[in-house]
Amino acid sequence: MSELPRSAFLFDPELVRAFVQDRLDDAGRAALADEVARLLPFHRQLPHPVIADLVAVTAHLGGDEALLRWLDGYPGAATGDRAAAPGAQPARSLVGVPGGVLALEQRRARDPYPHALAGYLLPDTTSGALASLGQLIESRLADDRLDEARCLALRSLALLTDIAPAAAELDRRAAELEHQVRALRDLVAPVAVRCAEHAGG
């Protein structure tokens, strides 16, 4: 497992509070963007207070898509290297949603490993198979395997694009998935280069 950076424990809660209260100046917003960009790849490993602060920032901006667009406005934060990170989230949103698993099962009946996901997608069709894709994206980012992370994010989003309509029909909890996936795919695609070099884990 990749080691957490020391910055994971130095996320400034004062910046977060000022941001969500709309009283942070431009320099402070740039500093916050830099901290958020460095922490995103380690989302699952972070201390709970840091996760709570990241959630607060994301919610204040309006969600994962808005967070990525906000980060893109701060090139000094090196956010382009981490552009795949929000791509890890939609698959996790289907955990505990039976309709999502059934839609995935229907898709895999035609092709067990669509979108060159052999070596990444677990053999068993469960909600864990989708969640594991999100974990893999974050682990590649944490290991600085950036091109692979971007490509895996794009392939995962392509799979979710396939199953989103059926998932929404089967379970209303998946109703927003198609819009979310489409928006994130548009954001990840420009930085997902040389994907053919990263097929198969």
Map out the domains of the chain as residue ranges: 6-82, 85-198
Q: Which residue intervals of the chain are DSSP H helices?
A: 13-20, 26-39, 48-61, 64-72, 89-92, 98-110, 127-142, 146-170, 177-188
Hey, is 194 helix, strand or coil? coil
The pLDDT profile of the chain, 201 residues, written as one tens digit per residue, is 445 555 445 678 899 999 999 999 999 998 898 888 777 766 667 778 888 898 899 899 988 778 877 887 776 555 445 555 656 666 666 666 788 889 999 999 999 999 999 999 999 998 788 888 888 887 887 777 877 888 888 888 889 899 989 988 988 888 877 877 877 777 666 655 556 555 555
192, amino acid identity: A
